[in-house]
Amino acid sequence: MDGGALYFPVATVFLAVTAGLADQLSVASYAMLLLIATLGSAGAAPVPSAGLVLIVTAYNTVFSASGIPPTFSYLLAVDWLLDRLRTTLNVTGDAAVARLVAHYEAAEAASARERRARCGRELGGMEAGRIGGGGAGSGGGGPLAPARDQEARSDLES
């Protein structure tokens, strides 16, 4: 996705400049190109040379043209190489994000284990029912747990 999002606007601007439409490039056309490239790269078919259709569509949309630009054959000639570079960028980006997610998830899991261990040390002498949920019939914790536990003890003593 990253490779396509970078390639589509550059290729479209190349087609516009070589077709003599450089005077039509404005901030609005660049914004439109970025929007089309971002949405299009996410939805582009995962087959070789599928992005060429998006480039022609973006060119025709932004520059109010129709048909195929005259220098489109240049892109067609080098697309096999650029497709491999886009794929490399996509795989590298996805691997980097997966590594970051794994790193932060491991750190979060370690933090959760440390919190559970610290909680277990602080509450070590308490009964299972008062910790929040434990044994059969304990009913868990809550604001009435101390009174309920006191009633249970007095019933057992009598």
**Tens of pLDDT, residues 40-96:** 888 877 777 888 888 999 999 999 888 899 899 999 999 999 888 888 888 898 899
Three-state secondary-structure class, residue 156: helix
Place of tokens 């439409």: 21
Cα–Cα distance for residue pair 43/45, rounded to 1 Å: 6
Place of tokens 């569509």: 57
- pTM assigned to the model: 0.63
Cα–Cα distance for residue pair 52/11, rounded to 1 Å: 9
Cα–Cα distance for residue pair 5/151, rounded to 1 Å: 68
Question: Is the Cβ–Cβ distance between 137 and 127 less than 8 Å?
Answer: no
